[in-house]
Chains A and B, each alone.
Chain A
Amino acid sequence: MLEPSILAASLIHGLANGAVYALVALGLSLVYGVLHIINFAHGALLMAALYAVYFLVERVGLDPYAAIPILVPAAGVVGYLLHRYVVAKASRGREEAVLLVTLGVALVLENLALALFRSDTRTIETGWAFEMVAVGPALLPAAKLAAAAGALVAVLALWAVVRATDLGRAIRAVAKEREAARLVGIDVDHVFALAFAIGTATLGAAACLLLPTYYVSPQVGHGFVLIAFTIVVLGGMGSFWGAFWGGLLIGVVESLGGLFLGESLGQIGIFAIFIATLLLRPTGLFGRAV
C-alpha cells in the first residue's frame, strides 16, 4: 500500500524531528553524565525558553534565529545560577534530594507560566516557516530543515567543547571521578554548575529552532521530557553519541508510527522502545555496564 517514496519521505521527516530531539536529550544526558542527577526541570526550562523566544519575536520583533545568540548565553546564566543557588543549596549534596528539587523547580516554573500566560497555546507566524523545501523524495517545511541543521551544528559545537576545551576536560574529569578531580585542583562545584548551565543553554538553542514550526504552552515541556528521557535511556545514560543517535532513531520511530498507526497512536513505538531497552539492554546502545 505504501510506496517507497512515501516511506522515505516519512523517514527524512523523522530524522529532521529527531535532530532537535537529540539536542534536547543531549542537555539532559550531559547533566546526568556529570552530576549524576536526573533533571526533571529540563522540560519546564525548555518551556521557559520557548516563552522567551515567543516574547522576543512578538514584542521585540526579533527573528527567532536572531534570538539564538541572546538566548543561548541567557539560558546558560539562568542554568548556572539555578544550579549554584537553588539545586545545589537545597539538596545539600544528596542525589535523591536533587531529584526532588528539580521536580519542585519544574512545578514552580509551570505554575508560574500558567499564572502569567494562562494555558493559552501560542504560536509565532514567520511567513516563510511553512514554505516547502525538497530534500530527496521528501518535502520539508523550511523552518524544520533549518531546525535540523541548527541542531546538528549545536551538537557538533557541544562535542567540540566537551572534547577540546579545558572546560570540557574538567567536565569529563568530574564526570569520571569527582574526588580525584577535586584533588588536582578543579573547582568541582563550579564545574557542576557549568555543566548544568550548558545543559540549559542547549535548551535555549532548541527553543529558537523549534518555535517557528511548533507552539508554546505551559505544558509544552511534558512531551519533550518524556521523549528526552527515552532517548537518554536508549542511548545509554550520560553517553554523548548515544543521545545523538538515540534522538534520530526516536524521531524516525515517531514519524513512521504516526504514518502507520495514526497521529494519536504513533507515540506507542517510542515507549515500546523505552520498555524494550530497560528489559533487554539496560545500559543502552552506547552505555557501558557500571
Chain B
Amino acid sequence: MNRPAIFSRSSLSRRHLLAGTAFGAAALAAPAILRAQPAPVKIGLLHPVTGFLAFSGQQCREGALLAIEAINAAGGIKSLGGAKLEPVLGDAQSKPEVGAAEVEKMNEAGVAAIVGAYASAISLATTQSAARYGIPHIVDVGVSDQIVQRGLTNTFRFCPGYGVIAKIAIDNLVALNDAAGKPARTVAIVHEESLFGTGTAQLLQKELPARGFEVVEVAKHANPTRDFTNVVLKLKALAPDIVIPANYYNEYVLLARTMRQQGVRPKAIYSVLGGAASSFKFVKEFPDDAAYIMDCNHWYDPRKAEALELRRKAEAKGLYYTYEVFLAHEAVRLLADALERAGSASRERIVEALATSSWDGHFMPYGPTRFVNGQNEGARPVNTQVLNGTIEVIFPAEFASARPVFPMPRA
C-alpha cells in the first residue's frame, strides 16, 4: 500500500527536477525525505484464524490491522523518522503447537514484536517461544493468569486475567443479588474444556461458596460441541437460580439457544467471559436467545470518542464490534506507544519501553498502563447486559448506560 505512493511521488519530483521549475526547492527536498524513508517495523500478528476459534481469531486480526492502518496513516512511528508498521500475519490454526511454530517463522522474518494470540492455551505457547528469541509479545486477549506468572520478561498483557475478572464478576453478582433482595442462591457452571474455561470454573467454584452461593453443578464440555441437550436437561432437573457459562462463541450460542428451547429459565444467565454474551453478532442473529443475558467481560469505555469511532470504522468494514477487535486494536497501539518511546526497533529496547509504559491514550476503562510482571495492573472487566436488542453497560456505576434487569422476566 505504501509502495505505489512512494514511487509516484518520486517520479513526480524527478520530473519537476528535470523541468527545473519554480518547485525546485520543494522537489529537491522531497527525494531527500524519500531516501531517508526509514525501514518499516515488522509486527507479527499471530491469531487462530482457522480452526474452531476462526471467528474470534479473524476478529482479532482485523482489529490489529485497523490499528496498523490508522498508525501508518497518521505518519507512522515519529521517533523512528515516520517508520511504518508492517504486519506479518500468522495463523495458529486454533492449536498451541502451531502457534509456537508460527513464532519461529516470525522470528526468521525479523519481527520486532508479536501481538496475539487470542486463546489462553495458544498464548502460553507463543509467549514462551517468543521468549527464546527475546521477542516482545503483547497478549491481546488470553485470560489465563499462568501467562504472566512464568517470569517471562518479554510477555505483556494489556487486558485483565481471569483472576481479576472472576473476582469482579463475583463482587458484582453479589451486589446485584443483594440489591434485588437475594433471590438467587444456587449456581450451575457450564464451561469449555481448555485452559480458559477450566481455570475460570475452578476460580468460581472456589470463591462462590464463600460468598453465600451453592454450586450445584459444574458441567464441562468439549470443543466443538454440537449438542447441549444432556447438559440442558440436567440444568432443567437441578433448576439452578443462576447459570454461569464460560466458553467460546459457537458453544455459547448453542447452549443459550438450547436452554431457551428446552424451557430452562434461570433467574439469570450470568456469564464470566461468555464467548457470545457481549457480542453484537449474537444479539443481532438470535435476539430472543440473547435477551437479558449478563456478562462480565472485556469492554471499552463508552465515554471515549475513539472507542465509538473504531466501532464505526469496524462496522463500515462489515465487522461486528466485538472485544477481539478492540482489544487487539489497543494492543497494537500499546506497542506503537512503546516503539515511539524506545526510539528503536530493537527487541530489548521495546521490552524496556513496555515494562516502563504508562500509556493513557487507550479507550479501555483501565487508567494509565502499569506493568507488574508483565500484567497491566489497572486492567479490569465491565459488566454488560443485553437489553432491548443492544448491549448495555450495567457495572461499574461510573459509566453504566442502563440499570440491570434481575431476575430476568419469565417467558
Contact = CB atoms under 8 A, between A and B. Distances in A.
A121 B238 CA distance: 32
A260 B230 CA distance: 9
B157 to A, nearest CB: 27
A183 interface: no
B174 interface: no
B262 interface: yes
A120 B261 contact: no
Contact of A6 (B51, B221, B237, B257): B237
B52 interface: yes
Contacts of B54: 120
B82 to A, nearest CB: 39
Interface in B374-399: none
Contacts of B257: 130
B411 to A, nearest CB: 16
B375 to A, nearest CB: 31
B226 A264 contact: no
Contacts of A258: 230
B93 A263 contact: no
Contacts of B224: 121, 123, 215
B203 to A, nearest CB: 20
Interface in A237-271: 255, 258-259, 262-264, 266
Interface in A1-29: 1-3, 6, 9-10, 13
A165 interface: no
Interface size for chain A: under 10, 10 to 19, 20 to 34, or 35 or more residues?
A: 20 to 34
A213 B227 contact: yes
Interface string B166-206: 00000000000000000000000000010000000000000
Interface in A114-131: 118-121, 123, 130
B51 A120 contact: yes
Contacts of B51: 118-121
Interface in B251-292: 254, 257-258, 261-263
Contact of A255 (B225, B230, B254, B261): B230
A157 interface: no
B231 A3 contact: no
Contact of B221 (A120, A214, A263): A263
B286 to A, nearest CB: 10
A139 interface: yes
A1 B258 CA distance: 21
B230 A264 contact: no
Contacts of B238: 1
A44 to B, nearest CB: 20
A132 interface: yes
Given A213-B226, A264-B193, A1 B93 contact: no
B95 interface: yes
Contacts of B219: 262-263
A6 B233 contact: yes
Contact of A120 (B50, B220, B262): B50
A10 B95 contact: no
Given A120-B51, A121-B52, A215-B226, A262 B220 contact: yes
B193 A259 contact: no
B191 to A, nearest CB: 11
A259 B236 CA distance: 11
A116 B257 CA distance: 33
B233 A259 contact: yes
Contacts of B226: 123, 213-215
Interface of A: 1-3, 6, 9-10, 13, 118-121, 123, 130, 132, 139, 213-215, 255, 258-259, 262-264, 266
